Chain A
Amino acid sequence: MNVDLTGFVALLRREILRFVRRPRNTFVPPFITNVLYFSVFGVILGERIDQIAGVRYILFILPGLIVLGAVSNAFENASFSIFHGRWNRYIEEALTSPLSYTSMVGAYILASATRGLVVGVLIALIGAFFTAVGVAKPFYLVAFMLVITLLFASIGVVGGLWAEDWDDLTMMNQFILRPLVFFGGVFYSLNEIPELFRQASLLNPMIYMVNGVRFGFLGVTEVDPNLSLGILSGLTLAIVGIDIALFRRGYGLTD
């Protein structure tokens, strides 16, 4: 294995082991939350709601819940890991090494996206416990899941570098990420809200992610999946580029 790859793998391994060895902090919370979501929204409320977009309500919300869990975890992992490393200064172990800035950013993003994907699969399994789940468009499902977890991991890197305090991390998660997801068509169809709100919703990038993953599972969508995938991929590449530039500049990392 060459020197660059060894360094990259060492950081990637460290980042993955960090969340794998702490399941109580990383996998148990989304497990409990999603069991509650499926029980309350899917089963108790869902049985009183008519079909949406031609499917049962529990199946309609499943892709949204997967997106919610996957992107939250991808974002939280990158932002927490980088900020915790800065706060306790052990990120200097990597910064003072010969790792290239691209390798550092790559390892943080890939590990965080992996956590997002694992949580996504976990939520799908919980959903499968409550109802039969099929995959109509596997390619789109995989492609959207990859892109959105990478995108939110790369946004998490910016968050981890930008945060000055633990409150900043909480704020980003509670006041920015969560409202975007909840107004991103997880629990309702765009066709069922007034036109003004529908148009406003189209500005929310989460709409495209939720609909993309829903297209993967159900084969139905309210927006063009190819266009969504293209825009999200472009956005991901741009933010990864910003991450690398920030590391190179030492933003939040060096004096």
Chain B
Amino acid sequence: MKKTNVTIEEVRRLAALSALEFSEEELQAFVPEFENILELVDQVKNCDVSDVEVQYSSHKLSQLRSDIAKDSLPQEEILLNSPKTKKGSFCVPKMLD
């Protein structure tokens, strides 16, 4: 089977989608590494699944949770691990509208 090629642009696109920052060397290193991993996962392409329908695990509408509101966590507990809070809210540097 033909090996799937990975380009550096592809790696950059994935890094952006992942919200991850890499040095140029790290990005370069991903190219062969990804090609190797893809060689492994590309094996699924060999398998004929044309007659297979994906089954969803499901439950009946009547089995769903009833619409009953319960107490929430206290505000201070919600904010417990927050790196920055103000006025009972999570806080980030001012964003443009």
- Check if A and B associate: no
Residue positions of A touching B, CB distance < 8 A = none
* Interface, chain B (partner A; CB < 8 A): none
